[in-house]
């Protein structure tokens, strides 16, 4: 039987990429008081007239309706270490993160953690994500199973690390390759799932393991690749010691054949112009993670330089280095990072990066990221405010950009009224 729902509210999405600094942008598509008609999980139409009575209605008049957010870099097992005090990247990994990730060798821990994590994403208005589980095959399987059960679009893969990690968190090249191949066969292209060859970061893989990862990518160009790059200055120094033959940190990945149009590299704070040119040529993207960069004291990402060089930039929470799964909090932090560099990030640029821009960079714009007929109905409904301060600010806001910018800056997951995944309401009050 056909499943239908008509969602009524104020629709906002993008038809193109907004230009830097433009608060009035032709790329913004604002359709207040419209109906989004969803049939069998897909957007069937968008219209101003109310549909016939054969359409069950979800009434959200006066609320904001957006494409579900896409978080392009987040760690599912790290909810257990979010908000951990007092260290920078390398110490934070050893002190908090690696011990927490070791627990995911256990299938029951991995299954419980995956369910908690994905439900938390949905409760924050994030309907698609690029995710690191742990080194354990069982944890990758648990994450994919939980995403399939929720009908979610997820890109993930078993973490590769065969050195500089504690017992219980290392694989080896042969076993890792066998695990990757098994996981790819089982999950890549199944339901709404895709596999990412997942190199944790250069220091935790031997050159042999990086080469194996590169071979997997070249055998199947539909695979994604995810990793971290140039996040922290001590990390960058360590990579130079470990790979003296490479021109730069990014060059370690380039030499291993890991840079391509489906590569998602978190952070990229300490890159130079030559690196940015390499990113552009590869068509790879930077998953900018402002909350994490501030919390771990990693540095200030130069979004404009990346964009000027033609490198794509998307937005990511990087929980547990980041302190919130909320893409609203992430956008607000991104604004502040740019402000420290004397730049101003518009609400349009930020929102685009978290929706249509991420979908395009992941080659998923035929499926998600906009409110276009034919797209899968991953849609979130938002209140404009969650308390008296936000409500007051909304009352006095003039113009759409002012209102959306204040919402992005003051709002969080308490504003979420409903989240639909594949046309099914998965979260709501
Ligand atoms: N670099 C290597 N692993 C990690 C991680 O788990 N989080 C962050 N932020 N950076 C990393
Ligand atoms: Zn990360």
pLDDT in tens, 155-187: 999 999 999 999 999 999 999 999 999 999 999
**Is the pLDDT at 213 greater than 80, yes or no?**
yes
**Domains plus CATH for the chain?**
4-67+374-428 (2.30.40.10), 69-325 (3.20.20.140)
Which tokens belong to 322? Answer: 């980041």
pLDDT higher than threshold 80 for residue 399: yes
The Cα angle at residue 105 between residues 104 and 109, in degrees rounded to 5:
45
Q: Which pLDDT band, with edges at 50, 70 and 90, does 92 fall under?
A: very high
Atom of ligand 1 lying closest to residue 204 CA: 2
pLDDT at 152 over 90: yes
Look at residue 150 in the predicted model and tell me its pLDDT.
98
Q: What is the CA radius of gyration of the chain?
A: 21
Other CB atoms within a 10 A radius of the CB of residue 251 amount to 18
Per residue in 359-383, pLDDT (tens digit) is 999 999 999 999 999 999 999 999 9
Mean pLDDT, the chain, integer? 98
How buried is residue 185: exposed, middle or buried, by Cβ count under 10 Å (0-12/13-18/19+)? exposed
With bands split at pLDDT 50, 70 and 90, how would you rate the model's confidence at 114? very high
Stretch 208-215: mean pLDDT? 98
Residue 1 confidence (pLDDT) above 90: no
Distance between Cα 378 and ligand 2 center (Å): 24
Give the mean model confidence (pLDDT) for residues 376-402.
97
CA pair distance 79, 83, nearest whole angstrom: 9
pLDDT score recorded for residue 429: 75
pLDDT of 30 over the 90 cut: yes
Mean pLDDT of the region 96-102: 98
Residue 77 predicted with pLDDT over 80: yes
Residue 296 in tokens: 């771990």
Q: With beta carbons less than 8 A apart as the criterion, state whether 214 and 187 touch.
A: no
Residue to mutate, 92, 203, 266, ligand 1, most ligand atoms under 8 Å from C-beta: 266
How far from 402 is each of 346, 394, 409, CA to CA, in Å?
Answer: 10, 9, 10
Torsion of CA 294, 236, 77, 92, to 10 degrees: -70
Say how many Å lie between the CA of residue 272 and the centre of ligand 1.
21
Ligand index nearest the alpha carbon of residue 131: 2
92 CA from centroid of ligand 1 (Å) = 9
How far is 170 from 209, CA to CA, in rounded Å? 12
Q: What is the pLDDT of residue 425?
A: 96
Instruction: Supply the pLDDT for residue 58.
Output: 97
The pLDDT assigned to 221 comes to 98
If pLDDT is split at 50, 70 and 90, which confidence band does 201 have?
A: very high
Confidence (pTM): 0.99
pLDDT band, residue 238 (cuts 50/70/90)? very high
DSSP letter assigned to residue 322: S
Tens digits of residue pLDDT in 305-351: 999 999 999 999 999 999 999 999 999 999 999 999 999 999 999 99
**Percent of residues, the chain, with pLDDT higher than 70:** 100
Cα of 228 from ligand 1 centre, angstroms: 7
| Probe residue for ligand 1, chosen from 74, 76, 200, 294 as the CB with the greatest number of ligand atoms within 8 Å | 200
- Place 428 in a pLDDT band, splitting at 50, 70 and 90: confident
189-220 exposure pattern, b = at least 16 Cβ within 10 A, e = fewer: eebbbbbbbbbbbbbbbbeebbebbbebbeee
For tokens 């004397």, name the residue: 342
**Residues within a 6 A CB radius of ligand 1:** 75, 89, 93, 97, 200-201, 228, 231, 292, 318, 321
Q: Exposed (0-12), middle (13-18) or buried (19+): which is 55, by Cβ within 10 Å?
A: middle
């Amino acid at each position: 039987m056909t499943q239908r729902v008509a969602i009524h509210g104020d629709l906002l999405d993008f038809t193109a990429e907004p230009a830097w600094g433009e608060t009035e942008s032709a790329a913004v598509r604002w359709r207040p008081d419209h109906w989004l008609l969803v049939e069998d999980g897909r957007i069937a139409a968008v219209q101003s007239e109310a549909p016939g009575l054969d359409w069950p209605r979800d009434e959200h008049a006066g609320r904001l309706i957006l494409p579900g957010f896409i978080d392009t870099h987040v760690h599912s097992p790290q909810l257990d270490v979010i908000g951990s005090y007092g260290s920078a990247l390398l110490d934070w990994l050893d002190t908090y993160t690696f011990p927490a990730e070791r627990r995911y060798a256990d299938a029951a821990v991995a299954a419980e953690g995956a369910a908690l994590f994905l439900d938390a994403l949905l409760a924050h208005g994030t309907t698609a994500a690029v995710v690191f589980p742990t080194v354990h095959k069982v944890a990758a399987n648990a994450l994919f199973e939980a995403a399939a059960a929720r009908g979610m679009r997820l890109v993930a893969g078993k973490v590769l690390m065969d050195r500089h990690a504690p017992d219980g968190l290392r694989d080896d090249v042969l076993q890792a390759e066998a695990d990757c191949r098994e996981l790819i066969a089982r999950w890549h292209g199944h339901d709404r799932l895709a596999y990412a060859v997942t190199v944790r970061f250069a220091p935790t893989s031997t050159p042999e393991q990086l080469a194996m990862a590169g071979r997997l990518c070249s055998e199947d160009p539909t695979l994604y690749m995810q990793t971290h790059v140039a996040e922290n200055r001590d990390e960058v120094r360590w990579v130079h010691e470990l790979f003296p033959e490479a021109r730069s940190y990014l060059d370690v990945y380039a030499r291993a054949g890991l840079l391509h149009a489906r590569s998602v590299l978190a952070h990229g704070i300490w890159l130079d112009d030559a690196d940015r040119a390499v990113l552009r040529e590869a068509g790879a993207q930077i998953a900018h993670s402002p909350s994490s960069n501030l919390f771990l004291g990693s540095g200030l990402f130069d979004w404009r330089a990346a964009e000027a060089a033609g490198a794509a930039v998307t937005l990511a929470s990087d929980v547990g280095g980041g302190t919130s799964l909320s893409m609203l909090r992430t956008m607000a932090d991104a604004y502040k990072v740019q402000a420290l560099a004397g730049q101003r990030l518009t609400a349009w640029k930020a929102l685009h990066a978290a929706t249509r821009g991420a979908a395009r960079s992941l080659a998923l714009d035929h499926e998600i990221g906009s409110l276009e007929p034919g797209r899968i109905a991953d849609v979130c409904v938002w209140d404009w405010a969650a308390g008296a301060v936000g409500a007051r600010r909304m009352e006095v806001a003039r113009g759409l950009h002012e209102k959306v910018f204040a919402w992005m800056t003051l709002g969080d997951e308490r504003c979420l009224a409903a989240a639909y995944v594949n046309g099914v309401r998965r979260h709501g009050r």
